[in-house]
Structure 1
């Protein structure tokens, strides 16, 4: 057998064993705590989302220019391979994601060391939190107001604020659309929870601080499980039929693209 061939095989085997050993060391040496960062990368049916600068055509035959894509995520839970759940402190677990204001990441601090295989979170604000009253919202109430995520305290939070202009076969001039979705009392509760498996385990330890890259498809708002035609109603805010449908669509717009397990990354 060719000597160079044997030498190459030996080198490749050594590299493989070293990589495996490095991975094993990272897993076996989990301990302490660290942060988990979740980055929300917005797109539209596979294309990058460019606010106000591009048009996107959905399966309803409508062409949209998106000017605003804001939503609330909350109540984060990390789940390990044994099904054990770590629930992030509730009072600190409400965030606005806003493309226009460059609020595109969530930082979860002081997460216990573990190998996490799944992530659960809410879209919107749950009834338990809202019923604590304005005084019980902490700083989040002001953050929501500053990012156009409130109607008023009495009317509640906007879980989704999706706005722009559109044209269609029947509407040829650019027309404003506004899709605002939230809960309206206990009778119309549009809060939803999403559970996502991670394509790669998120490793947390004193020296490992993972970044979860979330792909978010804005096209799903109108073109998901339910088809919402702007040509029928360009403004949807409080609708007993369409609002729950939009909430289901929104809960389906999230996908974990990849996980980066960074070593010695401190935030």
Structure 2
């Protein structure tokens, strides 16, 4: 009798353990939630202030920046289980403008609940989208035109617009500069960035995480590739970089312009 009782208790214990494990496995994250992605522009280690702040490059050039705009596109999130979620392409084009605070936080909706570990995004408008033609751009074409982020339809989008004035050891008076990236001839100059999150973004039906990204705009001309504005000075027109040999170097710099500062899960 004692033997039978021990066997029965053992079976019950095993059954309980299996039920517990099953219940744990069945507790899955479900539903959809939202995610905010904030782009916080800096120059070196300092918060970026337009028009008045003097920003010094490693080339001893002093910049007063009047405009920073860039297109963020094609957002893809990687979950802790290795699966990915691609934000709907038709809704995945944004213009971040330092002069417009509301543009600096992207509100992403209807994201499957999960524990997200990475974010990937493009800088600019991918060639596949551009090849859809003017009628295939949806509302974003008008948005880009209104924001001054088009050269023209035939010339295409400006991916990055970086403007202001500068002085240098060889240029004493404040001189204007304009750096615009985008399609030039056969070079499209679109690039993508993948960033690891320092902690998971916990998207839930009742939690909207915010991913805080620092964008160091110094990298545009003062990254791995050093671009000297003085060498591009065209006299009365100022320093203008919108093509030529410097543009692919600047595009390569952009991949190191972004860094995750922190993630809020509240």
TM range (shorter): 0.7 to 0.9
Aligned length: 234
- Determine whether 1:251 maps to 2:255: yes
CA deviation profile, 1:170-214 (whole Å, cap 9, x unmatched): 0010000000000135x2010001000000100011111100001
1:41 alignment partner in structure 2: 40
1:70 alignment partner in structure 2: 69
Alignment of 1:42-191 (within 5 A): 42-102=41-101, 103-184=103-184, 187-191=186-190
- Determine whether 1:225 maps to 2:229: no
Secondary structure, aligned partner of 1:136 = helix
Query: Aligned Cα RMSD in Å?
Result: 1.3
Decide whether aligned partners of structure 1 residues 85 and 213 sit closer, same or farther in structure 2, where only a CA change above 3 A counts: same
Alignment of 1:200-211 (within 5 A): 200-211=199-210
Secondary structure, aligned partner of 1:245 = helix
Q: CA deviation at 1:29?
A: 6.4
Q: CA deviation at 1:108?
A: 1.0
TM-score where L is the length of structure 1: 0.85
Whether the 8 Å CA contact 1:30–1:206 is kept in 2: the answer is no
TM-score where L is the length of structure 2: 0.86
Whether the 8 Å CA contact 1:55–1:65 is kept in 2: the answer is yes
Q: CA deviation at 1:101?
A: 2.7
Unpaired segments of 5 or more residues in structure 1?
Answer: 1-27, 263-267
Secondary structure, aligned partner of 1:257 = strand
Secondary structure, aligned partner of 1:244 = helix
Alignment of 1:188-203 (within 5 A): 188-203=187-202
Q: CA deviation at 1:129?
A: 0.2
Decide whether aligned partners of structure 1 residues 221 and 171 sit closer, same or farther in structure 2, where only a CA change above 3 A counts: same
Partner Cα separation in structure 2 for residue 223 and residue 57 of structure 1 = 10
Partner Cα separation in structure 1 for residue 99 and residue 219 of structure 2 = 19
CA deviation profile, 1:197-253 (whole Å, cap 9, x unmatched): 0001000111111000010101111110100000001110021x2111111112211
CA deviation profile, 1:141-189 (whole Å, cap 9, x unmatched): 111111110000000000000000000000010000000000135x201
2:22 alignment partner in structure 1: none
